[in-house]
């Protein structure tokens, strides 16, 4: 029986160190609501990510919903269908109509050249995704936003630690959101964050994630409860120390995959982008059935039958789910590139603990 290899595996902090932090939390009897570990993790993340302000959340979906609230976004928002469904769900939860725009096949990200054609009088914002951690064309997107007076909220769930020419990608746009889910490069089990540019916005978001409380007796907005607790903040502080080595280990896996798969007919993948510090959060390959000989799904099932569990992120497209497929912008003819990518993708196993043997097994399955 082959050993099961999953698409990813969470990085866990050293258990003895975590136990000793748990003891501190137990002694303090302060377990949530902006405690000392929460404050320490926010500061540590600002330092690590090179961003001015971070507000921690309990997962990566609530920051999206809260970002839209914080900026009073209404009407229509232009977004990508090629993402995890949480991106568009955040619009739905705010009563906002998503307007899907096709992707650029060179990156998998929203194609800036197609954004202007989708803008209407009701458009108030753009919500792009740095899919697989590959940076969007933030300059072009900002130029369009400035021209039409739109806000930009980046779903940066995959982009922890990604930098372009030494600057964090999280500084682009009005707000960026992060996910620290167990399956991410950096995890706090469940968790997430909003990254903002100024103290006033940080204050507003801190109120919104705590029911809107601005003091013991004052509620300034209909906020929600999405605070991170002390236990996960402590876990996150420990995990932050290992994230660089995890990214480097993933980088080595990407190098091996690329070397082995570069000349396989019908298999393509993304190369690193110049000037970008990548985080190797995912390793998608794209299967051209005609050139490769079998379809994406046949390869996917073959891998599974041999214990290698890749994932078809992001198939089906968000625009194909029942909630969204009736929208005018969800028509497949509007999204040909996104469909092509969704129909050909397999994300190969990618994490810091893949052994040489595991990688060889995965490569053998694809090459043969
Ligand atoms: N925006 C974007 C662009 C996103 O991709 C996501 C989430 C969000 C927003 C929302 O963020 P969160 O609210 O989730 O923080 C996973 C994750 O649940 C989800 O966080 C992620 N994106 C999405 C792309 O993938 P599943 O349903 O594929 O996960 P699951 O449970 O099948 O796990 C995948 C594999 O990971 C397992 O087969 C084995 C391994 N695994 C998983 C867990 C949970 C472990 O080894 N240990 C574990 O504890 O959604």
Average pLDDT over residues 125-145: 98
Q: What is the DSSP letter of 216?
A: S
Q: How far does residue 345's CA lie from ligand 1's centre (Å)?
A: 17
CB 79 within 8 A of CB 101: yes
Beta bridge partners of 308: 5
> pLDDT per residue over 54-97, tens digit each?
999 999 999 999 999 999 999 999 999 999 999 999 999 999 99
Would you call the peptide bond into 168 cis, given omega within 30 degrees of 0 as the criterion? Answer: no
> pLDDT per residue over 253-283, tens digit each?
999 999 999 999 999 999 999 999 999 999 9
User: Atom 42, ligand 1: which residue's CA is nearest?
Assistant: 183
Q: How far does residue 281's CA lie from ligand 1's centre (Å)?
A: 12
Beta bridge partners of 186: none
User: Atom 23, ligand 1: which residue's CA is nearest?
Assistant: 84
Spatial separation of the C-alpha atoms in residues 145 and 124, rounded to whole Å? 9
Residues 165 and 278 both lie in one domain: no
Of 194, 209, 241, the residue at which a domain comes to its end is 241
Q: How many domains does the chain have?
A: 2
Spatial separation of the C-alpha atoms in residues 149 and 66, rounded to whole Å? 20
Surface-to-core class of residue 242, CB atoms within 10 Å of its CB (0-12 exposed, 13-18 middle, 19+ buried) = middle
Considering the domain boundaries, does residue 8 fall inside one? no
Torsion of the alpha carbons at 228, 231, 234 and 240, rounded to the nearest 10: -60
| Strand (E) or helix (H) holding 211 | none
Q: What is the DSSP letter of 33?
A: S
Does the beta carbon of 60 sit less than 6 angstroms from any atom of ligand 1? yes
Is the pTM for the entire model greater than 0.85? yes
116 is in which domain, residue-wise? Answer: 15-241
Contacts of 120 (CB under 8 A, 6+ apart): 76, 99
Residues 102 and 201 both lie in one domain: yes
Answer whether residue 2 shows pLDDT above 90.
Answer: no
User: In the numeric block, which tokens belong to residue 88?
Assistant: 């568009």
Spatial separation of the C-alpha atoms in residues 192 and 209, rounded to whole Å? 12
CB 214 within 8 A of CB 207: yes
Spatial separation of the C-alpha atoms in residues 365 and 23, rounded to whole Å? 46
Considering the domain boundaries, does residue 282 fall inside one? yes
Average pLDDT over residues 36-49: 98
Does the beta carbon of 270 sit less than 6 angstroms from any atom of ligand 1? no
Q: What is the three-state SS of 174-186?
A: CEEEEECCCCCCC
User: Atom 28, ligand 1: which residue's CA is nearest?
Assistant: 311
Spatial separation of the C-alpha atoms in residues 101 and 318, rounded to whole Å? 12
Of 241, 269, 295, the residue at which a domain comes to its end is 241
Of the candidates 195, 203, 188, the residue with the CA atom closest to the CA atom of residue 233: 188
Considering the domain boundaries, does residue 23 fall inside one? yes
User: How far is CA 100 from each of CA 297, 326, 329, 333, rounded to the nearest angstrom?
Assistant: 25, 12, 5, 12
Does the beta carbon of 59 sit less than 6 angstroms from any atom of ligand 1? yes
Considering the domain boundaries, does residue 118 fall inside one? yes
> pLDDT per residue over 138-178, tens digit each?
999 999 999 999 999 999 999 999 999 999 999 999 999 99
Number of neighbours of residue 150 by Cβ within 10 angstroms: 20
Residues 256 and 237 both lie in one domain: no
Supply the CATH number for residue 334's domain. Answer: 3.90.1150.10
Of the candidates 116, 117, 112, 73, the residue with the CA atom closest to the CA atom of residue 96: 73
Average pLDDT over residues 232-255: 98
Does the beta carbon of 109 sit less than 6 angstroms from any atom of ligand 1? no
SS3 38: helix
Of 241, 258, 280, the residue at which a domain comes to its end is 241
Mean pLDDT of the chain: 97
Spatial separation of the C-alpha atoms in residues 3 and 308, rounded to whole Å? 8
Answer whether residue 368 shows pLDDT above 90.
Answer: no
Residues 156 and 176 both lie in one domain: yes
> pLDDT per residue over 320-332, tens digit each?
999 999 999 999 9
Residue 31's pLDDT is what? 98
Residues 215 and 264 both lie in one domain: no
Number of neighbours of residue 324 by Cβ within 10 angstroms: 21
In this structure, what are the phi and psi dihedrals at residue 364, rounded to the nearest 5 degrees?
Answer: -55, -40
Q: How far is CA 208 from the centre of its chain?
A: 22
């Amino acid at each position: 029986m082959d050993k099961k290899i999953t698409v990813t595996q969470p990085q866990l902090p050293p258990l003895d160190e975590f136990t000793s932090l748990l003891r501190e939390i137990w002694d303090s009897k302060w377990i949530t609501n902006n405690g000392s570990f929460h404050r320490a993790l926010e500061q540590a993340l600002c330092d690590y990510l090179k961003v001015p302000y971070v507000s921690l959340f309990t997962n990566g979906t609530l920051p999206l919903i809260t970002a839209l609230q914080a900026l009073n976004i209404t009407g229509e928002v232009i977004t990508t269908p090629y993402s995890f469904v949480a991106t568009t769900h955040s619009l739905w939860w705010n009563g906002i109509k998503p307007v899907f725009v096709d992707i650029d096949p060179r990156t998998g990200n929203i194609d800036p050249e197609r954004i202007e054609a989708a803008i209407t009088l009701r458009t108030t914002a753009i919500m792009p995704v740095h899919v697989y951690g590959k940076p969007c064309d933030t300059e072009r997107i900002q130029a369009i936003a400035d021209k039409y007076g739109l806000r930009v909220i980046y779903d940066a769930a995959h982009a922890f630690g990604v930098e372009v020419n030494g600057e964090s990608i999280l500084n682009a746009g009005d707000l960026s959101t992060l996910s620290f889910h167990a399956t991410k490069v950096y995890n706090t089990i469940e968790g997430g964050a909003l990254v903002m540019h100024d103290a006033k916005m940080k204050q507003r978001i801190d109120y919104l994630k705590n029911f809107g409380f601005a003091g013991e007796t004052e509620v300034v907005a209909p906020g929600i409860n999405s605070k991170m607790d002390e236990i996960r903040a402590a876990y996150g502080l420990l995990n932050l120390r290992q994230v660089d080595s995890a990214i480097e280990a993933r980088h080595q896996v990407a190098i091996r995959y690329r070397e082995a798969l570069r000349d396989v007919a019908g298999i393509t993948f993304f190369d690193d982008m110049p000037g970008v510090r990548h985080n190797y959060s995912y390793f998608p390959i794209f299967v051209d059935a005609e050139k490769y000989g079998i379809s994406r799904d046949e390869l996917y099932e073959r891998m599974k039958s041999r214990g290698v569990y890749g994932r078809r992120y992001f198939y089906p497209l968000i625009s194909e789910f029942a909630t969204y497929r009736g929208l005018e912008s969800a028509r497949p003819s509007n999204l040909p590139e996104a469909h092509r990518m969704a129909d050909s993708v397999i994300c190969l196993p990618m994490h810091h603990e893949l052994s040489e043997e595991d990688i060889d097994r995965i490569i053998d399955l694809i090459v043969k």
